[in-house]
Structure 1
Amino acid sequence: MGMLGANLELPDHVATDAAHYLEAAKDERLPGGRMAWESLAAGAVLLAGRASGVERTPIQIAQFAKSSRERVCAAARKIRLQTNMDAPVVRDRAVDRVVAALGEAGTGVETGIELVRVGERLLDVADIVPIGPGTARMTVAGAAVYAADRLTAGKALAQADVVEAVRETVPTSKAKIARYSRAVYDASETHLTPTDPVAELVASD
C-alpha cells in the first residue's frame, strides 16, 4: 500500500483511507482464489480516491499494482459489497455507459431509454444481494442491461453486443454476461416490490 501511495502520488489522507479499506477486507477474509492482496490493495486505493475526490483511474492504479484494470475494479466492488465500510460506487453511471456504447452500435433512442430505466433498477438489486461482488461493476451493469432487454419488448440485444459495449471500459466475456444476467433476473423476482414497474415485467415474462 505504501508503494502504491508513493507511485501514484497520493495525499497521506487518501493512503490512510485506502489502508482502512484494506484492513476491512482482511477482517472479512476476502483475499483468496483470484482475489489477491495486490488486487485488493489496488481496489482500496480506487475506493479511497473516489471517496476523497483525489481520484486515480483503474488503468493508472493497475500500472503499479501487479494487477489488471479488470481486477482493480472487481476488487473495489468486492470491498464495497462485502465489508462494513461505507465505500462509494466507483462506476456510478455504469448502466448509462453500457447503453451509450450500445447506442453508438445502433441501438435506438427509445430502446436505450427503456434499457436504462429497467437496467438501473436491476443493478440496484445486484448491488443489494450482492451479485458478482468480485466482478467489475461494469460487467454486472452489462448483465443488468442484457436482463432488461430480455424483459422488455423487442429483445434487441445479443450477448456479443453487450460484451463489446462493456469492453470499452473493462474486459468481460459472454459467459459472465450470461451468468450474471440470469442471477440478476432471479434476484429481481424476490427483491423487487410488487408495485415496482420492473417487478411487473419480471412477473409477466
Structure 2
Amino acid sequence: MKDKAQLAVFASGTGSNYDAIDRAIKQGELDAEVAILVCDRPGAQVIEKAEQNKVATFVFNPKDYQTKTDFEAEIAKQLREVKVDWIVLAGYMRLVGPTLLSAYQGKMINIHPSLLPAFPGLDAIGQALQAGVKVSGVTIHYVDQGMDTGKIIAQQPVKIEEDMTREGLQCKLQEVEHMLYPKTIQQLIKEGE
C-alpha cells in the first residue's frame, strides 16, 4: 500500500481552500495529507487553521530575505524535509520563481477564480464584473513562470446573475472552488500512481 500523497499548501490569507482540502481529506474524498503549510504573511488566518490541525508550517516574511531565490531555496529545503509530492497553491499571492518551479515541475498546481485565459492575475472577480461578462468560473492549472498561464487541468463555469455583487460572485465561485479543487487533486494523485 502506497503512502498517502504529501501536499504542501501555499496560502496567504484566510485559507478557505485549505479548509476545503482538509475537509475532503477527513471525509475520505482526498487520499492525501497536508504535510506543510507555506505562508508568506505572518498573522494570516490560515496559519492558525493549520496549527489547529497539527500541520507543520513554514511562515516567512519575504522582506527578511535578500532575494526571491533565497526564500524559495529555504522553502524547497522545508519541502524536501517533509517529502512533499505536490505543491497546491491556495490563495498564495505571489509568483513562484525558478527555484521552486524547477524542483516541482509538473507537480505544482494553482486555482484561479476565472475561466482562464480570461482575467488572469489579481482581482479576477472585479475584472469579470467590470467587463460585464455573463459567465465567469474557476480554473485549476499547472504553475509555470507566467501569471496564471500554465496548462489548464480543470474548469467549471459560474453564471453571473444580473445585479450580482462582488461578494455574491465570490461566494458562488468559492463554492465551486471548494468542491473542484479537492476532486482535481485526487484525480491527479490517482493518475500519478
Bigger-Rg structure (1/2): 1
Relative contact order higher in (CA < 8 Å, ≥ 6 apart): 2
TM-score when normalising by structure 1 = 0.28
Structure with a larger share of its residues in helix: 1
Structure with a larger share of its residues in strand: 2
